[in-house]
Amino acid sequence: MPDYPERIGSYRITGKLGEGGMGVVYSAYDTRLNRPVALKVIRGSADEENLRKRFVREGQSAARVNHPNICSLYDAGEEQGHPFLVMELLEGESLAARLARGPLALAEAVQVSLGILAALSALHRAQILHRDLKPSNIFLSTHGVKLLDFGLAKPLAQQDDPDGKTQSEITQQGMIAATPRYASPEQVTGQALDARSDLFSCAAVLFEMLTGKCAFPGDSPLQIFHAILYESPPALGGSAAVSAIDRILNRAMDKRPENRYLAADDMAAELRAVLRLDDAGLPIETRTVKRLIVLPFRALRPDPETDFLAFSLPDAIAASLAGLSSLVVRSSLAAARFAGPAPDLKEIAREADVDVVLTGTLLRAGAQLRLSTQLAEAPGGTLIWSKTSQVELRDIFQLQDSLVNAVVESLALPLTAGEIRRLSHDAPPDASAYDLYLRANELGRDWRNIGAAIELYEKCVAKDPGYAPAWARLGRSRWLADKYADASAEKLAEADSAIRRALELSPDLPLAHNIYAQVQVEEGRALEATKGLLERSKTARNDPELFAGLTHSCRYCGLLEASLAAHQQARRLDPKIPTTVVHTYFLLGDYQSALEASQDDFGYATAVSLAMLGRTSEAIALLKEREQPAPRRLARLFMTALRTMLEGDRRACLEASDELMRGTFRDPEGWYHGARQLAYLGEIERALLALSRAVQWNFSCFTAMASDPWLDSLRGDARFKDLLQLAKTRHEEARRAFIEIGGTEVLGCSV
């Protein structure tokens, strides 16, 4: 005898299709309309009120949306106190059944995801969240993807929720009302939900379709929840299309909802672009990516001879590990915020968004140095290893190599041949040269000591001419020392020469590449810098500094959307990394966002954004407070010119502007800002000269120049029109080159 009833209402039962946590699904025949259907009946006792409510809610949610990618609801009823739903009978199999045979090809997985997203888009437009997206609720029918099971679906906007978000449900037993492996972080923590929660789940399903593995593995719900809250899925590689998918997945599965796609349609648009790439059928690789922060070491007893090591040694270790394809390393600037006697791993994990922390203590005893280090998981604090080293002060250089190797080995980081080669040259064999290098790094933290740092770097490379990191930092220091002081062509060439020497010695050195891009931009070679960074991104896509560099160089090419996308990628990898995105927002005319992003600026960007928002008095007060001391002469002149212009002191503004123009200042974006201030004053000849220097040095923000209200006094001049056309031509050249080199796939944006 079959284990199912003969009839339910007017429906003749023909078989059992399956059963889940809430109901049993039968195949049936509608005797009134003569068609096959699927019939879902509530499981268990009809007296279980919560079960009945969820079942009724499923029917109500399904009835509100009619879409090709959502299983249609035909009828609802009740038989002997048991409610039932009547739905279309689908031919095919669930995604869970398909995944049991292995992963899907990339094109097939993307196509399935597009069907899921189309269904989610329809649900979200109807103000419904699905909240339980998983392979068993996705059906691969002969007519396309169908989304099933709305037992956990809820209206998005609740009357008691002024933010229009749905509250995540947690049962009395402490379990979330969702399937653990596919739940979003906000579901796990019981926070308010919106459409981005469903997109997180969709991305987790897509990851599993591509790899055959769960995005967040674990043997228990608690392990899974820990992975969802604190761990990142392995990175994907294998082809340009797979890399593009990896970027989409990372965004959709960001721990913070505000960093995800706003809507299903936005995520779908980027997935469609992936289908236009040449996949070449290459196998998809998965690489686990760890996120590490190296905290400043703590000196157990103050000692003037070794105190510099507390920052400079961990900084050198972090620099060695930065750029590895299987590791994301937080900057030393971010690490400095957590210096202290007893680091709070929970706070560090939350604020720095890391899952591994390296800490240490230093103690000098005579001619020896004792270093105790610990590598621990965060936030749990599980000790991965603890290492104590005692070396002669003259042998400190050995510590960097041993600690870097210990991190690589303990985290089982897979290294490429190039990475192995680079790590073997990250500490010089000359002990005195290494001592000079570390001391220079400590001095270089403060701009006021940059001259002294340059002297030590120069002594270091004189002792060991083959030490690439020292050449790279020497170039950076030369560039920084001159940028806001004299901005001379000679000093810029010296910085360029030092960085190129570093790259000759170590072609894969991330530090050198990222610094060199900044110098190239000021030399008028922004497109060359952009091309170089995009090429390197194909093998170093976990380096936040690289994307911070692209934020800068793309803007000079006029690729403002690409600059914004690069900033977002940099912040995804390192939430605290400083970028120059404030200027990108400004050139886009989004002055409010520019103001909000200006906290890392020396003051000019904040003030000029305030001025564009009509908050002139605030801008003047800020400029008076922050006008730079004499050593940063050019920065002071920029601030003074803007302040006096806003105050209406034309003579003082022109004096400061003329002093800038008589010098050898090279930054083309700086010339653009000077031009717009002069144009605002109606100084046509001066403004055109400044703008000409900006454009000639390849500052190609055509769209900003075409719409900037402060340039209106120039628009009737034929020379301005010629400059605008030249900027447009160079912008188009940069746009074509960006597309040809694969920038749209790397950053996931159109230009």
Q: Which of 30, 75, 132, 543 is catalytic?
A: 132
DSSP 627: P
Instruction: Report the 3 state secondary structure along 111-130.
Output: HHHHHHHHHHHHHHHCCEEC
- Asked if 22 and 43 count as a contact pair (C-beta separation under 8 A), the reply is yes
In terms of residues, how long is the chain? 751
Nearest to 459 by CA among 480, 430, 479: 430
Nearest to 186 by CA among 135, 199, 352: 199
Please name every residue paired with 155 in a beta bridge, in sequence order, or none if there are none.
128
Active site residue 149: no
> How many helices (H) and strands (E) would you count in the chain?
32, 21
CB neighbour burial string for 347-376, b if at least 16 within 10 angstroms, e if fewer: ebbeebbbbbbbbbbbbbeeeebebbbbbb
> Other C-beta atoms within 10 Å of 695: how many?
23
Angle at 444 between CA 443 and CA 448, to 5 degrees: 80
CB neighbour burial string for 443-473, b if at least 16 within 10 angstroms, e if fewer: bbeeeeebeebbebbbbbbebbeebbbbbbb
Nearest to 425 by CA among 473, 466, 472, 475: 466
Q: Token pair 């992003």 is at which residue? A: 597
Query: Which residues are within 8 A (CB) of 617 and not within 5 positions of it... i.e. 6 or more apart?
Result: none
DSSP 169: P
Euclidean distance between CA atoms 233 and 212, whole angstroms: 13
Angle at 663 between CA 658 and CA 485, to 5 degrees: 110
Please name every residue paired with 12 in a beta bridge, in sequence order, or none if there are none.
7, 29
First-to-last CA distance in the chain? Answer: 66
User: What is the secondary structure of 141-152 as a DSSP string?
Assistant: ETTEEEE---TT
How many angstroms separate the Cα of 230 from the Cα of each of 41, 193, 223, 377?
A: 39, 19, 11, 10
- Asked if 43 and 23 count as a contact pair (C-beta separation under 8 A), the reply is yes
CB neighbour burial string for 555-579, b if at least 16 within 10 angstroms, e if fewer: bbbbbbbbbbbbbbbbbbbbbbbbb
User: What is the secondary structure of 239-307 as a DSSP string?
Assistant: SHHHHHHHHHHHHHT-SSGGGS-SSHHHHHHHHHHHHTS--TTPPPEEE--EEEEEPPPEESS--TTTT
- Asked if 360 and 314 count as a contact pair (C-beta separation under 8 A), the reply is yes
The half-sphere exposure of 53 on its side-chain side, counting CA atoms within 13 A, is 4
Nearest to 24 by CA among 37, 38, 9, 10: 38
Euclidean distance between CA atoms 460 and 469, whole angstroms: 10
Tokens found for residue 113: 């995801």
- Asked if 260 and 252 count as a contact pair (C-beta separation under 8 A), the reply is yes
Q: Would you name the residues annotated as active-site residues?
A: 132
